[in-house]
């Protein structure tokens, strides 16, 4: 009997860690890849410093970096350009 229980334990263990790994992968992609639904506004209470813009895809304040090749500025994290519709919308209030 104890052997059967051990086998079950091992299966549960593997299943648990399998799911855990998936969850971590999902978390990772949420943090590092563009939001599915970009922010429409800068969240209340957020104060942007000089030169900072709100990246609606990363949901954080970033300093957009000049892309000399394309003549635009880009978020250093997700690479979205400041010509993007939602980047304009979310930063519109104070531009
Ligand atoms: Zn970004």
| pLDDT tens, residue by residue, 86-95 | 999 999 854 4
Q: What are phi and psi of 3, to 5 degrees?
A: -65, -40
Same domain (yes/no): 46, 85: yes
* 94 CA to centre of ligand 1 in angstroms: 18
pTM: 0.61
State which residues form the domain around 9: 1-32
61 confidence band (pLDDT: 50, 70, 90): very high
- Residues paired with 94 in a beta bridge: none
**Beta carbons of 57 and 86 less than 8 angstroms apart:** yes
How many Cα atoms occupy the beta-carbon half-sphere of 1 within 13 Å? 0
* 73 CA to centre of ligand 1 in angstroms: 11
Same domain (yes/no): 41, 85: yes
* 75 CA to centre of ligand 1 in angstroms: 5
36 confidence band (pLDDT: 50, 70, 90): confident
Q: Quick one: which of 83, 49, 84 has its CA closest to 63?
A: 49
The total domain count for the chain is: 2
* 19 CA to centre of ligand 1 in angstroms: 28
Which are the contacts of 52, defined by CB distance < 8 A and separation ≥ 6? Answer: 61, 62, 63
Q: Quick one: which of 47, 35, 34, 37 has its CA closest to 93?
A: 47
Same domain (yes/no): 49, 83: yes
* 95 CA to centre of ligand 1 in angstroms: 18
* 17 CA to centre of ligand 1 in angstroms: 31
Higher per-residue confidence, 45 vs 36: 45
């Amino acid at each position: 009997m104890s052997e059967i229980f051990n086998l079950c334990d091992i299966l549960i263990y593997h299943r648990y860690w399998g799911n855990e790994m998936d969850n971590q992968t999902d978390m990772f992609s949420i943090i590092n890849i563009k939001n599915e639904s970009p922010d429409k506004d800068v969240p209340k209470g957020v104060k942007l410093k000089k030169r900072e813009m709100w990246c609606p895809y990363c949901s954080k304040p970033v300093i957009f970096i000049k892309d000399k090749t394309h003549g635009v500025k880009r978020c250093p994290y997700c690479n979205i350009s400041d010509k993007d519709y939602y980047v304009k919308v979310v930063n519109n209030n104070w531009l």
